[in-house]
Amino acid sequence: MKLNPEFIFLPIDKKIIAWNYATHLQYELTAPYLIRYIEIIYGTDEYDPCKKIDAELLEAGLIQKFDANCVDWGWDSLSKIFHFGTKDLGEKNKPNNEAEWASEYINHCENLLSTPLEQLSRISHTRRLAFRIAKN
């Protein structure tokens, strides 16, 4: 098994959030899942598809059966995270021309202006998008 290099980990509100910067998917890892992930990283225990945690880590994409399509980025890792992590639109919603990009941006700004400030915090956004792999 291989580790997915597109994940970064963020400590937020006494939680560990695994964020895939390429897909924008976020997962909250509870202690058993984080410990198991670390065991796989350091090779202290092999991946076992019969273990529920292992199967869920694979399903979430934190580990994968094959190396990801690793393209030689050519720059440092931080610039890669920034480049992919700041792309907010999925392929199906991607504007086709300048007018559509402008329209999408204006709509985005108008939505932000009409949203109460407490709902715009980064932590609130993370909780809303977090998918719990395990129950507490």
- Walk along the chain (136 residues) and give the pLDDT tens digit of each residue: 788 888 989 898 888 889 888 877 888 888 899 999 999 999 878 889 899 999 999 989 999 887 665 667 677 777 766 766 666 655 666 778 888 878 877 887 777 677 665 655 444 344 333 344 544 3
- Alpha-carbon gap, residue 98 to 58, rounded angstroms: 38
Q: How many CB atoms lie within 10 A of CB 90?
A: 9
Q: What is the pTM of this model?
A: 0.60
Amino acid 36: pLDDT: 93
43: phi > 0 → left, psi -120 to 50 → alpha, else beta; which?
left
Stated length of the chain: 136
Buried b / exposed e over 8-25, threshold 16 CB at 10 Å, is eeeebeeebbbbbbbeeb
